[in-house]
Chains A and B, each alone.
Chain A
């Protein structure tokens, strides 16, 4: 057993010495910060519910009432102001256009001369700057108040519209954290673990150092499983560190133990299957290629069969009472099966 432990120790030491692990951690940090930057960027430019909520919205719009002092009951100006848009009223289009040309307003919203509040179509005009970027921003910002105005018009026309007073909180960031960020942080180390096992074993085979290693009191299976264990251990440490960092950021994670166990099981699955692959092909090039293809295949298959570890881990983390240890232990069963395959496969490495 001491041979096994010393190989594990040697593997971990080499990872620490080469500082290659640092690169993997940098990648994960980069993915996390990058994807949240992307999310916030997308939200602040495209999502009508979130535009302006990340600050920096400074939009003034001309509201042209066409010599028709707006109906005091007409809520449009109020809806616009609720969204954080500054509204300048104008009596005529010409005055509004002058303000547009001097840069006082960025867009012109012109109401029809007569609005029938309770019948017929209301046809407005919206004048946007030709610059594509500004036009898209203004249009996305105005969408929400215009939608609310539409609801008002429907109600005026006697339509019963349900669920208009729902508020809640904008869920995009929440969904992103639990369905993208946490699965990435929990499973990326697993992906790294598989690649590490391929590298570590194929390097011994291609560099003809496996024989030297076997002169120590340890079997071939011992060497392979020690390398697998070291990789899985590293993955679990990373996953645990991410869980710690997430909770420092006040992101509540339910069922922490199960989440960590699932992350470890997936890392073990990935490491054991990559060990099987490298036992079969023995060289890095083919093994890495088949391993990557296999991952792609497994991802496709799991979403096809609807047993996705991504879904399980995000449900566990969010605290869904319908998901529990049975869903996690399913993967332990798969792991046991793969372990048996490795047990037989290791013999091929000796030849």
Chain B
């Protein structure tokens, strides 16, 4: 039998043994109860801020069915007394709304305004005919923004006919009634798309534990001495969880009436991505608490990375950096293109491949058992991932292959910074992006210097050049895929494209990487300080490129 399947079976046996000891009924009951309850509350639409406002009702005021408002029925005088005592935040007497000037009362009125607007519409539409209640119709048509060569002839003729003024004889794409239109924030669909992620995250507890178990029981040594490659161990351990994740994806797709194959296509890269990240956790942990905290951090960051862009599905093309946007599109029955599919999927898959490769290099006892600071552990990991006999090739490839990681990191920075004031946002994004880039370009060289493999200026220059070259090639490949997608925001242009010439950016990458490594290896500055200095220069350079010096 293929060793991969042997490992996979061993993993299943491990789980069976662990969960077979009299706890399975309890687990199943708890699991079902938790899923049922959360589905129940999700279906019930969790309304936040329940009971945040106290409102007094009196006379012919409409009843309030919104759980943000806790309602007190009062008579007019009693209500006014309560309002003055600040026991209630607003008081509705017939058609009047009474309030105070303090902010809490003002917020209550702001919230009431929206609610009452809607309840008035409901009242009007029962009291009057539909056309009287909604006297305004807006027909919407979409125009191509490209400059038309000449005003269309039939446009002029139809404009002359007073009854149906129609631009270029366009029929309405839709007709809306403004007061009935609700903005299309994809809350519901994003929530639905996120449900797919939940079982994958839960699975990762076991996946991570599996490696930790081997480590704790020192069985890894035996396993590694068997004629099985680290790659087979990793893939074998991942297999059962991968199959489970795929089955859950298909199940959720069936339950939510989505196209199963499409859902699988959308979620496979995401599942791989999450596995990749959780594969790294047991490799760098030292204590159980480490694992918990790192897993929490990872879960928070990935959830943010998946949710944030998807909330802007249909509003900004940058939304496609999250695969959940594809799922939102799927649930809206809207098509998406191959490019839009590959935009989030390729980097995630690439990160998975990179993680599996790194893990095969790190899966040795000496590395796993060592107790050191996390930064030290990461530095060792980088050193182990490289092939010491081919330092030049390793450094170049390391830069090239880390592009997807850098890219995801920079997109997270962009997403977070995009809500700061514009000036600060640009400065922060440029600087943070430069820090990320410089770390990835120089870390391989620094690891080699640390282990005494590299010492001369000539070697440093050669390595810095190859690192810059690898980075540039990766960057251009990425650009090839993403330029049409992210061209909308000017900041992404700064991050991903350069002035057109290939020589200038290559020289710049070379110069900055050389600077970092020389500062570290020869001037003997601390690595963090070397990075900060170079990143400041790099950020200034990018700023100048984008016209900051004009």
Contact = CB atoms under 8 A, between A and B. Distances in A.
Contacts of B110: 167-171
Contact of B292 (A133, A154, A196): A196
A47 B183 contact: yes
Nearest to A118: B135
Interface string B166-183: 111010100001110101
B315 to A, nearest CB: 5
A75 to B, nearest CB: 13
B143 A100 contact: yes
B142 interface: yes
B23 A102 contact: no
Given A34-B308, A41-B312, A163-B113, A169 B106 contact: yes
Interface string B186-204: 0000000000000000100
B493 interface: no
B38 A195 contact: no
Contacts of A283: 18
Nearest to B142: A130
A125 B166 CA distance: 9
A173 to B, nearest CB: 9
Given A94-B151, A304-B41, A207 B111 contact: no
A207 B212 CA distance: 12
Chain A interface mostly: helix
Given A41-B312, A206-B216, A23 B181 contact: no
Contacts of A42: 185, 311
B244 interface: no
Nearest to A45: B315
Contact of B106 (A14, A168, A292): A168
Contacts of B51: 311, 315, 320
Given A122-B137, A285-B205, A179 B216 contact: no
A257 interface: no
Interface in B19-39: 19, 23, 26-27, 30-31, 33-34, 36-38
B419 A37 contact: yes
Contacts of B209: 284-285, 288
Given A102-B147, A121-B135, A143-B183, A41 B142 contact: no
Contacts of B156: 94
B255 interface: no
B419 A40 contact: yes
Contacts of A162: 95, 116, 120
Interface residues of A, number: 122
B167 A146 contact: no
B139 A37 contact: no
A136 B288 contact: no
Nearest to B60: A162
A108 B124 CA distance: 30
B487 to A, nearest CB: 12
A66 B165 contact: yes
A108 B291 CA distance: 57
Contact of A168 (B87, B108, B133, B292): B108
Interface string A264-302: 000000000000000001011110111011101101110
Contacts of A286: 18-19, 23
Interface string B129-145: 00111111111111111
B243 interface: no
Nearest to A200: B289
Contacts of A94: 151, 155-156, 159
A180 B39 CA distance: 20
Nearest to B317: A133
Interface string B35-79: 011101100001011111010000000000000101000000000
A216 to B, nearest CB: 20
B128 interface: yes
Interface stretch (B97-105, B378-386, B506-514, B522-530): B97-105
B183 A46 contact: yes
Given A100-B143, A146-B138, A303-B41, A31 B46 contact: no
State which size class the interface on B falls in. Answer: 35 or more
Interface string B477-515: 000000000001000000000000000000000000000
Interface in B404-450: 415-416, 418-419, 422
A45 B97 CA distance: 30
Interface in A173-224: 174-176, 178-180, 192, 195-196, 198-200, 202-203, 206-207
B289 A297 contact: no
B458 to A, nearest CB: 38
B290 interface: yes
A13 interface: no
Given A150-B178, A281-B23, A166 B289 contact: no
A38 interface: yes
Contacts of B172: 125
A314 interface: yes
A151 to B, nearest CB: 8
A3 interface: no
A18 B415 CA distance: 30
A283 B21 CA distance: 12
A101 interface: yes
6 contacts: A30-B304, A93-B165, A97-B155, A101-B148, A129-B144, A303-B46
Which 7 A-B pairs have CB atoms at the shortest separation, nearest pair first? Answer: A300-B37, A168-B109, A168-B110, A179-B49, A146-B178, A285-B209, A199-B288
Given A124-B136, A133-B314, A286-B23, 7 more contacts: A98-B151, A127-B143, A129-B142, A168-B110, A199-B287, A285-B205, A299-B37
Interface of A: 14-15, 18-21, 23-24, 26-27, 30-31, 33-34, 36-38, 40-42, 45-49, 56, 64, 66, 92-94, 97-98, 100-102, 108, 110, 112-114, 120-133, 135-137, 139-140, 142-143, 146-147, 149-150, 153-154, 157, 159, 161-163, 166-171, 174-176, 178-180, 192, 195-196, 198-200, 202-203, 206-207, 281, 283-286, 288-290, 292-294, 296-297, 299-301, 303-304, 308, 311, 314-315, 318-322
